[in-house]
Amino acid sequence: MPTTPVAEARPKNTEETAFKRTQFANLPGGAFFEGKWHSADMTLEVRDPEDGVLLGRVCSSTSQDVERAIAHIHRQLQWEDWPLRDRREALEKAVVLLGEQAERFANIIAAESSKTIGEAEREVRRCAETLRLSAAASGELLGETLGFEDSMAGAGKIGWYSRKPVGIVAAITPFNDPLNLVAHKLGPALIGGNGVVLKPSRRTPLTGLALVKLLLEAGVPSGRIAAIVSGPGVSEALVTDPRVDLISFTGGPATAERIAAAAGGKKILSELGGNNATIVCADADAEAAAEAIVAGAFGVAGQNCLSVQRVYVHTSLFDSVLELVTARTRELKTGPKLDRGTDVGPLISEAEARRVEEWVEEAKAAGATVHAGGQRRGAYYQPTVLADVPSACRVIRDEVFGPVVSILPFIEVQDAVFAANATEYGLQAGVFTRSIDLALQIAEKLHVGSVVINETSDVRIDSMPFGGFKKSGVGREGVRHAVREMTEPKNTIINIAGAPMQRQRPAATPEWSASS
C-alpha cells in the first residue's frame, strides 16, 4: 500500500555539520558544580540521532563530583541568603534572556534530540512560559496564622506558618523534552528557595547545560545550582546522598523503582509515562477526531508521554475514523529535522527504532493489520496505523514511545472504558462526543490524571497539576503544584502567657481642696 517513504540515510552535509557545531561553540563546559564550569574528562559524546554528527562532548563525571556538588550547595544553603524577591527577579530575567536566545536554543534542541525545528521552537516558547509561571508562583510561599483561639491547647499562644524550602532537590530529566522538562524542575525548585542538582539525559545534555548557563546569567547564585550529566556511580551517588531532600524524576517505571529502592525515605516526585487512550463515541465528529488523533500520535516521533497510543472507536464510526486517520498519516513527511516541511523526525537512536519495529512485527504476527507505515530505515520509523491488534501485544499493553497508534472498535461505552483502564498506566485520556452528559460519565470512570473532552490525551498546560495514577507516577508537576511539593510548612509559635504581665499602679487620686 502507498505510504510516505522514510527519509534515506543522508550523506553528511559539511555546511550543515558546521552550522550544528556552531550552536555549541560558547557552552562553557561539560559540567557545573562548586560554582564553576568544569571541562576536564569531556569524553561523553553527544551526537545528532539523525545523521550521527558529533555535536560536542560533556564531562564523564564521578561519584566524587556529585559529593562535591552536593556539599557545596549544602554549605551555601546554610549561609547564603537569597530573598524571595531576588529569586523572582532572576527567573523573570531568565524569561527575557531566553526570548533573546530563542533561535539558538531551538537549534540546540533540534540538533541533539528527535524534534523537528518547529517542535523545538514550540518547546522554547513553553519553557519561557514555565519560567514565567515559576516566577509568578512566589505567591504560593505565603502561609497563614494558626488557629490557637479555637483550640484547648491554644490559650495564651499566637503563631503562624510559612512555607520553607525542603533543601536540595535532585532533578533527573529525560531526552524527549530536554528544555521544558528541565525548567519544570529547576523553576519551582529555585523559586521555592532550594538548591538543585540537575542530571539531564546523557542523550540530550547540551540543552540542559545551556539553560543552567542562562539561569546563572539571570542572577541565580552559583551556590544554588549544579549540573552533572553522567559517569560511573553518578546516579546512585545523587539519589542516595543523605543531604538530598527530594528527588524529582521523569522517565520510566523500571528506573523509578530502582531510584525508590535506593533513595530510602526521601520524598520522590515522579512522572513515568503513559499508555494513553482516546475514546470516539458514536455521536462524535469523525473528521475532528481523526485530525486530533494524527496530531497527538506522531509528534516528536511518538516519543511523548502524552502520545495517543490506543484509540477505541464505536463500530458505527470505526471504518470512517480508520480511513481518515490512515489517509492523514500517509500525508505526513518523515525526514530531516531542520527541514520545515518535515512532520516527523527520527527516534532518539537506531536502537529505539529497532525496538518499535520489533513490537510492530510482533503485533503483525499475532494478526494485526498495518494501514499506514510499518517500515524502518536507520533511526527513522514511519508513522504507523494498526488495526485488529490483540490486547496481549506490547503495542497495546505497554508504552510504545514511538510513532505507532492502534485503532480498535467497541460496541458498548462501558467496554471502551474498561479497555482504556486495562493498563498499568493512568496518565491521560481523551473522549470525543457531542453529549456533555456522556462525556462526564466517561470522565468519571477513567482512572487517569486528566481527561480531555473533544481532544486527545496530548494536551497539557504548564500550570495544571500534571501526573497520573498507577505506574504513571507519584505526586504532581505543574508549576504551582511543584512549588508546594518542593516546600514544607514551618510553624512559628509564641507563648504570650509565659511571661508575667506587669501590673500598672493606678494613678494617684487628687485630693480635693476644702474650698471645693
Please give the positions annotated as active site: 271, 305
In this structure, what C-alpha cell is assigned to residue 429? 485520556
Taking phi first (over 0 means left), then psi (-120 to 50 degrees means alpha), and beta for anything else, what does residue 116 get? beta
Which alpha helices (H) appear in 432-500, and where do they start and end?
A: 436-445, 479-485
- Given a contact cutoff of 8 angstroms between Cβ atoms, the answer to whether 189 and 267 are in contact is no
- Given a contact cutoff of 8 angstroms between Cβ atoms, the answer to whether 307 and 297 are in contact is yes
Q: How far apart are CA 65 and CA 39, in angstroms?
A: 13
| CA-based radius of gyration for the chain | 27
The residue assigned the cell 510559612 is 162
> Distances from the Cα of 188 to the Cαs of 61, 69, 125, in angstroms?
26, 20, 17
Quick one: three-class SS letters along 447-460? CCCEEEECCCCCCC
- Backbone torsions φ then ψ of 248, nearest 5 degrees: -110, 115
Q: How far apart are CA 404 and CA 399, in angstroms?
A: 10
- Given a contact cutoff of 8 angstroms between Cβ atoms, the answer to whether 201 and 173 are in contact is yes
- Given a contact cutoff of 8 angstroms between Cβ atoms, the answer to whether 214 and 512 are in contact is no
Quick one: three-class SS letters along 59-109? CECCHHHHHHHHHHHHHHHHHCCCCHHHHHHHHHHHHHHHHHCHHHHHHHH
Q: How far apart are CA 108 and CA 311, in angstroms?
A: 34
Angle at 269 (CA atoms; ends 263, 272), nearest 5 degrees: 100
In this structure, what C-alpha cell is assigned to residue 146? 494558626
Beta carbons within 10 angstroms of residue 176's beta carbon:
25
353 residue type, one letter = A
